[in-house]
Every structure is written in C-alpha cells, then in structure tokens.
Amino acid sequence: RTCNLTACSSKYVLSQMHPMWQGPLTIPGGERQSPIDIVVRKSIFDSELKPLVTDYDPHTCQQIWNNGYSFLVEYDDTTDKSTLKGGPLQDKFRLCQFHFHWGESNAWGSEHTVDRRLFPAELHLVHWNSDKYSLFEEAVMEDNGLAVIGVFLKVGKRHEGLQKLVDALPAIRHKDSIVEFTRFDPVCLLPSNTDDYWTYHGSLTTPPLTESVTWIIMKQHVEVSHDQLAVFRSLLFTSAEEDVQKSMVNNFRVQQSLCGRTVRSSFT
C-alpha cells in the first residue's frame, strides 16, 4: 500500500517544478515520507529519549558546493571524527554534510512545520550509521541508516558563526561550483538547547526519497539576519552555461502524510 502523498497548498507545489522532481517518482513503500507537519499536541513524550551527544571535529570540514538544489558543506567521513550519538539513536552516526532549505520570502521555506507554522529556512545536518555500515551510499538504503538533525531558522539577529559560510556563497553561485571550505564547526549552528526535540522515522526529502532517516527536529530555533538569508537567495539553481538563470529559492518538498506514524518528544 503506498500512502496517498497529499500535496498541501499550491505554493508548495511551485518548488516541485525543479528538474530534480521530473520523471517517475516511484517511492519505496511511501508510508514513511518526509517532511511532515509536527502536531505538538499529538506528539508522545518518551522518557527513554536521551540528550543528543554531538562530537564534531572542525578539521574534517572539506568543501562547500552548489549541487543545483541547495548548497552543501561536506565533511571527511572516512573516520569517526565528527559523530552524533544519544538522543533516539542506538548506534554512532558519522557527520557527512549539512545543507539548508529556504523560501523566496521569509514567510515560508522550511520543510517541516510545527502546528503548521512555517519558518523561513531549515538546516539539515546529515549523519550515517557507521556502527552498521561502511559507506553513506550503503546506509542511505537502510531503515536505520541515516540520522538528520533539523534546525529551524528565524529572521532576527545576525548569526556570527554563519557569516563565514555566507561569505563563501558568492563563489558557488552556479550549479556544480565548489570551493575549499575548512575549519568550520557546525556545532555553532545548533540551538543552545539541544535536549528538547521531536523525533520520527522518515525519508530523504529529495530523490531517492529513501525511507532511511531517523529525523531529530530541534524545538528551539536559531536566528539569522535578513541579509544573511538574502545571500542564500542569491544562489542559482542553474549552471554558468545555461541561458536562463534561476534563483535558488523554495527548495523544499511538499509535506507528506503521517500515515499513522508517531512523533515522539524528548520534553513535556
């Protein structure tokens, strides 16, 4: 049975115009797709959920690049130097990259929502299960293969830690551009309180949409300035050779049905 993948309001559908979404999207099972709306009053407090334990080594940061849908900061994941454990996880997970999703305006842009509340952007820190698998490409196909931390961004004061990343963006304006990017500790992008989160079993939010993700969505958001977010929007979906340049905005997926899943909370 594939769950009916409901589309939400029309504005979500816009972001499905991107070439990435063309062609047959046979979704494996389709009963644990992401993103979703987190209905707070329906989430279940689970006292077994532990605090998150992140241990990131900024020296594993390697490059930043525009993949034509977002921009990714990639880490050397050939050893257990930058790891995530605890929270809902039984195993140790290795950080491989982080990226963002955002809107053309501050009114929307996040992939997940909380009681239908939209945020202007959402950060995803992607980790794979290095206790059970030896490569990301292997883990991405397995139920317990990935763990992604989601952090909501709100427009407010300037985020000093983010500025180093914002300053690198003009160099990767076009699809497939890449520059060296080192000594960046992503812990600065996490909220001060990482003990309060929601967690549920879901999928990648872009193809191959594999249902291999334990999502860990932070309750507390982080603030970035309007100008910092405007630089995200100066990126392009298109490569330098293409005639028509398209702004990289609204790179989020339509919200998916819960299909009977439970969202657990680590807090009451």
> Which pair of tokens denotes residue 13?
């559908």
CB 19, min distance to ligand LC8, A: 14
The closest of 117, 110, 116 to 215, measured between CA atoms, is 110
Residue 120 backbone class (left: φ over 0; alpha: ψ -120 to 50; beta: rest): alpha
- Binding mask 7-46 toward ligand LC8 (x if CB under 6 A, else -) reads ----------------------------------------
Judging by beta carbons within 10 Å of its beta carbon (0-12, 13-18, 19+), is residue 197 exposed, middle or buried? buried
Please return the burial class of 23, using the count of CB atoms within 10 Å of its CB with bins 0-12, 13-18 and 19+: exposed
The pair of structure tokens assigned to 237 is 């979906």
Binding-site string for Zn ion from residue 109 to residue 128, where x marks contact by CB under 5 A and - marks none: ---------------x----
Q: How far is the CB of 121 from ligand LC8 (least distance, A)?
A: 13
Task: Specify the DSSP class assigned to residue 106.
Answer: T
Which among ligand LC8, Zn ion, none contacts residue 66 (Cβ within 5 to 8 A by kind)? none
Smallest gap from Cβ 117 to ligand LC8, in A, equals 19
Regarding beta strands 146-155 and 178-180, do their DSSP bridges make them parallel or antiparallel, or are they unpaired? unpaired
Q: Where do we find the tokens 């999928």?
A: 203
Tell me whether residue 160 or residue 253 sits nearer to ligand LC8 (CB atom): 253
* Residue 147 in contact with ligand LC8, rule: CB under 6 A: no
Contact window for ligand LC8 (CB under 6 A) among 19-27, 52-60, 202-210, 236-244: 202-210
Q: Radius of gyration over alpha carbons of the chain, in Å? A: 17
Binders in 54-113 for ligand LC8, by CB under 6 A: 97
CB of 124 or CB of 221, closer to ligand LC8: 124
Strand partners, 178: 65
Binding site for ligand LC8 (CB under 6 A): 97, 124, 126, 140, 148, 204-206, 208
